[in-house]
């Protein structure tokens, strides 16, 4: 059986994955619901350290809250209330996204909730001024994160539904983790 020191080392050595809180079962969605994913909670949690995030809670929107969506107007992306698109939430959410990003600088990867206006990776609906779905893409947090950290391993829960998706993501995360530790070690030696 591993002694306490060994267990601490194992814990310390695990890669760190920032993850949308709702995927861990936290009731932080606009309607007070969660979207727990059992493979993440039961299996992946044993091999990684999780860093739960929720950009919309960070923005102080609370639970329950009016749902938001992405809107594109003359090439400019904004965040508006679904029930009243004249109500903008862009600035508040943008500031929260930057604050969340600053808190995950030491993470080795990111697992996000698909289709969310904040956390979506590639399939978040984008609406035009008339309220019609006109495109799809990443949510606001993901856009800010990827612009700041190109090459950072990012996936949504749908990408982890297949074994190939899980293996591919974990290889990226462990590689990123090794590189981060090597760079830290090299910096310490200089
Ligand atoms: S902002 Fe992200 S973490 Fe928070 S409830 Fe929405 S999808 Fe989940």
How is 11-62 classified by DSSP, letter by letter? HHHS-EEEEEGGGGT---STTS-----HIIIIIGGGTSEEEEE-HHHHTT--
| pLDDT at 182 (0 to 100) | 80
Q: Name the residue among 49, 56, 41, 40 with its Cα closest to residue 166.
A: 40
Split into its structural domains, the chain has a count of 1
In a domain, 187, yes or no: no
In a domain, 18, yes or no: no
In a domain, 186, yes or no: no
Higher pLDDT, 187 or 183: 183
pLDDT, tens digit, for every residue of 106-124? 999 999 999 999 999 999 9
In a domain, 43, yes or no: yes
Choose the residue to mutate in 18, 21, 69 for probing ligand 1, maximizing ligand atoms within 8 Å of C-beta: 21
State whether the beta carbon of 54 lies less than 6 angstroms from ligand 1.
yes
In a domain, 21, yes or no: no
| pLDDT at 7 (0 to 100) | 45
Domain range holding 60? 27-180
In a domain, 11, yes or no: no
CA atoms within 13 A on the CB side of 137: 14
Helices of type H across 65-139 = 90-102
| pLDDT at 184 (0 to 100) | 76
Q: DSSP character for 88?
A: B
Protein residue with its CA nearest to atom 8 in ligand 1 = 22
Q: Which atom of ligand 1 is nearest to the CA of 28?
A: 5
| pLDDT at 3 (0 to 100) | 52
Q: Name the residue among 55, 66, 116 with its Cα closest to residue 88.
A: 66
Higher pLDDT, 106 or 8: 106
In a domain, 6, yes or no: no
| pLDDT at 98 (0 to 100) | 98
Higher pLDDT, 158 or 9: 158
pLDDT, tens digit, for every residue of 19-63? 999 999 999 999 999 999 999 999 999 999 999 999 999 999 999
In a domain, 189, yes or no: no
Protein residue with its CA nearest to atom 4 in ligand 1 = 54
């Amino acid at each position: 059986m591993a002694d306490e020191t060994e267990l601490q080392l194992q814990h310390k050595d695990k890669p760190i994955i920032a993850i949308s809180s709702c995927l861990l079962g936290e009731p932080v969605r606009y309607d007070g619901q969660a979207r727990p994913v059992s493979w993440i909670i039961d299996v992946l949690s044993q091999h990684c350290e999780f860093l739960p995030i929720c950009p919309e809670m960070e923005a102080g929107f609370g639970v329950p809250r009016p749902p938001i969506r992405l809107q594109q107007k003359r090439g400019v992306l904004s965040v508006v209330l679904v029930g009243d698109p004249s109500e903008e939430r862009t600035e508040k959410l943008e500031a929260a996204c930057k604050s969340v990003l600053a808190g995950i600088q030491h993470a080795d990867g990111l697992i996000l909730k698909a289709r969310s206006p904040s956390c979506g990776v590639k399939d978040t609906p984008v609406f035009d001024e008339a309220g019609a779905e006109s495109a799809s893409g990443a949510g606001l947090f993901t856009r800010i994160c990827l612009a700041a950290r190109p090459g950072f391993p990012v996936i949504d829960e749908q990408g982890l539904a297949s074994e190939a998706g899980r293996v591919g993501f974990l290889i990226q995360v462990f590689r990123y983790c090794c590189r981060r530790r090597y760079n830290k070690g090299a910096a310490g030696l200089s």
